[in-house]
Each structure stands twice: as C-alpha cells, then as structure tokens.
C-alpha cells in the first residue's frame, strides 16, 4: 500500500504541474494612487500629428473619411506626408526656354481639404520635380519619387519662395506661420541621392531654410528628418556654425529598428523600449548642444517599419502605445505616428485590408485596435501623477478627476531574442488600485483587447476575405466599435481590474 500510495501522489503531482504549465498564471500587482498628489503638466504630445500616404492621396474620399474619424478620436493638429513636389501634384514645369512654370491647382485642393477638416499641414518639402532634378535617381517606392539634388539651386530656391508666397496669399501669414515645414525625408538611408549624404543635405537644407525665411521669418522650418535618430546633434551644430535658421529638430525611429543602427551597440532592445530610448538619446543631445531649448519633433514613429499584422493590426498596439507615452513623456514636444490611415501606396495598391499597414484605419475605412487605443488614450488628463508602476499611467483633469491608463504588455511573438524576458508576461494580470484622497465610489472603464474594439475575430469568422463586400465592411465596422464604458464599483478606496495579455484599459474616476 505504501508504494501504491506514493505512486498515486507522484502521478497527482505530475498532473498538477502539467495543468499549471498548460494554464496561464494570473499575475497580480497593487498600485497606490494619491488623487491629491503633486502633479506636473502632461501635454498630449503623442496625438499632435500623424503621418499619411503621399500628398496626392489627400484628394481621395476614403482618405478624407479616415482623417475625419481620427480627428474626432484624437483632435490631432497636423498631418505630414511625402511628395508635395511630385510631378503627379503638378507644381513644377518649365517652358521651352527653361523658365519655371508653377501650377498650384492640386496643392490648393490638398491643403483646402485638410484645413476644412480642422487639420494643419506639416509640410515635408519633398521630393524633386523631374524637370528640376539633376539626375534619374528614383526611390523604389511604388510611385517612384525622384530623390536627386536639384540641377540648379537658384531654381530650387525660386520654387520654394513661390510656394511659400502662394500659401501666404491664399491662407494668410497668421495661418501659415502655425504650420511646420521640414526639409526632405530620411536623407541618411536612401531617400537622398546627394553624395556625400550629410554634406549635400546641409546644402539642400541651407538653401531651403534661407529661401523660406526670405519670404517671411515667421515661417517655421526644421530638419534633418532623419531615420534612426541620426544627425540631430550635427544638424544643430551646422546651423549654429553657419548661422542658418531652424525652429525645430526632427528625426524618426521605429520599434524594430536595431541597436547597431540607432545607438551603435550590439544590444537586444525590446520593441516596447526602442522608441523612447531613441527619444531620450536625441533629447540629451539637444540639451548638450548650442541650442538646448530646440523643439524636438519626432516626425515618424511606430512599433514596426515593416508590414507585420501581429503588431500594427493587433491589440499589441494598445499596451505598446500606452507604454510609449509613459516613457517618452517630458522628452519630446510633438510625436507624429506613422500613419493615420492605410490609404497608402508605398508598396503598391493595397491588396487586402489587414496586411500589417501602418494606419490606424485599414482599407475600406475599417478601424483597427490601434485606432481604438488612441481613442481611449485621448481621455487622459492634462496633469500626470507619479505612480510606482510601469503598467499604470495616472493623470488628473483640472476638475480633480482622475484618468488612468492600465495595460498588460505582452510581446508580439516576432522578436524572439528581444522579447525573451517578456515571455512570462503572456498571461492575464490583475491590477488592484488603492486610491487615497478620493471619495469616488465608481469608475468608468473603457477597454481595448481581443473582446473590445478588435475587428479581427469577426474578420476571421467570415473567412478573412481579401475583398470584403459592402455588407461585410458594415459588419466589420460594427465589430470594431468600442462598447460603452463599464461601471466598476470602488469599495473602501480600492478598485480591481483584470487585463488579458495585450489588454489596455482607461479608467475614469470622478
């Protein structure tokens, strides 16, 4: 009997271990929040600007529908896109004698449309009109922009000035002086054919900045608009040494950029840490520069620079975005998420709605979980209260009410090395919030997760159609809608919320 009982206990023990391994472990965390604590300003820097597909797409109805939807969700101020000088926009031509001929017809339609929808242009001055180009240097994007230097800088300068004068004549200097003008895009990684890259980009920047400011000094211009957080310190030094005007510094980074490209190291930096590590690097470079108060505009960022459905189409974006906001707060003035819409053709015509596009809204005006993440994060207050947690962001409104973002970050499953330490996080988590100096008895909770604001289950259930019918599109939009916030009781100053992996919740406490 002894041997038999021991064997049974051993079997039961092994069975228990097997069940534990098969079932997700529920993690728990308790966070204290003082509603009356000293707070600091918390500007909504992450929703000031969005990127988008190239300029000409702004004439499409689907683009304009998406911009209205994102404006309603975030109240964003600026939109940035490439290619306002592309030949398809029709700005630049030359007559038989080589004299410049300008046409502002499409420019006016593009900018009129943005302004009518309450959004200002973030004007990326790119790329090169064919008849002004010094050579046949075509970027491999589907629409093949010319990335060469101008054949004649006097003609380039004249075009910049004619462009600026036209904008001021049409919209007034009071309006246009609130826009941002940025010279080119990512000249350090293949969007610029000048050689050597940095030296010839300085020439382009100098001519452009002086030409623009020559029209009106109130116009705001900056650069170097680089990829991988590069050249900012050198840019400021160059401008200060040469007395070239600049109003802000801009650069880009993505969550899956690599440490060797951004920092020159061999580290494995997880996707949820890369962007703000890069922001901090540039922030510190600016503070050490001859212009330490320079405005930092992060004019492109996202969790991925490639088309990865497990990232940009998924609920991963909710916790990633909340974590990015928490980490980057205080280090950057404006961040421009790339992009607001999948009306986007860098890789060609969109072939199916959920292909891992950059946008918050997929083709056919289908809101993704990322759209809903931005929508609920917009509720955050304008003061931040410090809390001892890397999964809670506590904010306060002027009326004293609290708004909290809670998230359960779980890796995308794509970054095996970088996310190794996070594998244990792929389980539900329960957050117990203990409120001090608050008499609130209930909270309103808005969630974004697999069961809230995610159209993918419905899309998969209908067979993941490559071309959803109008009826299916309507069903998918309904599936993407956020349900009304749920009311949760606060008992003895305590509130408990459980989040699934890749879950985000925004809690309003009044």
Q: Which residues are catalytic?
A: 186, 300
Q: Across 82-207, where does the E strand assignment appear? A: 92-94, 100-102, 120-125, 180-183
Supply the DSSP symbol for 131. Answer: G
DSSP string, 295-359: EEEEEEEES-SS--HHHHTSTTHHHHHHHHHHHHTTT-SEEEES-SBS---TTSS--SS-S--S-
Q: Are 311 and 324 in contact (CB under 8 A)?
A: no
Angle (nearest 5°) at CA 111 between 105 and 116: 120
Neighbouring CB atoms inside 10 A of 336's CB total: 28
Q: Are 379 and 483 in contact (CB under 8 A)?
A: no
Burial 157-190 (b: 16+ CB within 10 A, else e): bebbebbbebbbeebeeeebeebbbbbbbbbbee
As a whole number of Å, the CA-based R_g of the chain is 25
Supply the DSSP symbol for 456. Answer: H
Label residue 15 exposed, middle or buried (CB < 10 Å: 0-12, 13-18, 19+).
exposed
Residue 120 — left, alpha, or beta (φ > 0 → left; ψ -120 to 50 → alpha)?
Answer: beta
Whole-number Å distance between alpha carbons of 409 and 429? 10
Those residues with Cβ within 8 angstroms of residue 319's Cβ, 6 or more apart along the chain or in another chain: 272, 407, 408, 409, 410, 502, 503, 504
Q: Are 275 and 335 in contact (CB under 8 A)?
A: no
Token pair for 226: 């680089």
């Amino acid at each position: 009997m002894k041997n038999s009982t021991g064997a049974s206990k051993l079997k039961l023990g092994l069975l228990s271990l097997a069940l534990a391994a098969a079932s997700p472990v529920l993690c728990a965390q308790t966070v204290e929040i003082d509603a009356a604590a000293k707070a600091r300003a918390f500007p909504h820097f992450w929703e000031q600007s969005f990127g988008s597909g190239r300029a000409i797409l702004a004439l499409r109805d689907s683009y304009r529908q998406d911009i209205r939807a994102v404006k309603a969700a975030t109240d964003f101020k600026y939109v940035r896109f490439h290619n306002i000088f592309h030949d398809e926009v029709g700005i630049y031509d030359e007559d038989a004698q080589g004299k410049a001929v300008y046409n502002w017809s499409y420019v006016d339609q593009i900018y009129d449309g943005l302004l009518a929808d309450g959004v200002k242009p973030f004007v990326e001055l790119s790329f090169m009109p064919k008849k002004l180009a010094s050579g046949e240097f075509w970027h491999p994007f589907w629409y093949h922009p010319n990335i060469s230097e101008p054949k004649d800088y006097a003609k380039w300068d004249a075009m910049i000035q004619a462009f600026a004068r036209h904008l001021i004549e049409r919209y007034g200097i009071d309006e246009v002086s609130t826009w941002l003008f940025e010279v080119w895009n990512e000249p350090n990684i293949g969007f610029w054919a000048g050689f050597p890259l940095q030296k010839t980009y300085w020439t382009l920047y100098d001519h452009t900045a002086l030409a623009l400011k020559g029209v009106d000094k109130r116009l705001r211009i900056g650069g170097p608009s680089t990829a991988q957080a590069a050249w900012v310190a050198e840019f400021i030094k160059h401008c200060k040494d040469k007395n070239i005007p600049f109003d802000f510094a801009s650069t880009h980074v993505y969550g899956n950029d690599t440490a060797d490209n951004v920092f020159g190291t061999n580290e494995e930096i997880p996707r949820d840490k890369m962007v703000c590590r890069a922001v901090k690097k540039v922030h510190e470079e600016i503070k050490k520069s001859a212009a330490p108060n320079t405005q930092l505009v992060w004019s492109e960022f996202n969790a991925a620079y490639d088309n990865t459905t497990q990232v940009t189409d998924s609920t991963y974006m909710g916790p990633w975005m909340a974590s990015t906001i928490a980490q980057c707060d205080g280090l950057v003035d404006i961040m421009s998420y790339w992009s607001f819409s999948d009306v986007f053709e860098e890789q060609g015509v969109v072939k199916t709605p959920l292909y891992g596009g950059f946008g918050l809204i997929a083709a056919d005006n289908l809101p993704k979980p990322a759209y809903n993440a931005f929508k609920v994060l917009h509720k955050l207050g304008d003061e931040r209260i410090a809390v001892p947690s890397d999964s809670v962001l506590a904010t306060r409104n002027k009326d004293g009410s609290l708004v909290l973002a809670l998230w359960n970050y779980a890796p995308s499953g794509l970054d095996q090395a970088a996310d190794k330490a996070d594998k244990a996080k792929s389980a539900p988590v329960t957050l117990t919030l203990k409120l001090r100096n608050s008499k609130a008895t209930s909270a309103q909770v808005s969630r974004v997760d697999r069961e809230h604001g995610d159209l993918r289950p419905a899309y998969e259930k209908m067979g993941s159609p490559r071309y959803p019918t109008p009826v299916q599109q309507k069903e998918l939009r309904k599936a993407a809608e956020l349900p009304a916030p749920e009311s949760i009781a606060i008992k003895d100053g305590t509130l408990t919320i459980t989040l699934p992996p890749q879950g985000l919740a925004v809690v309003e406490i009044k």
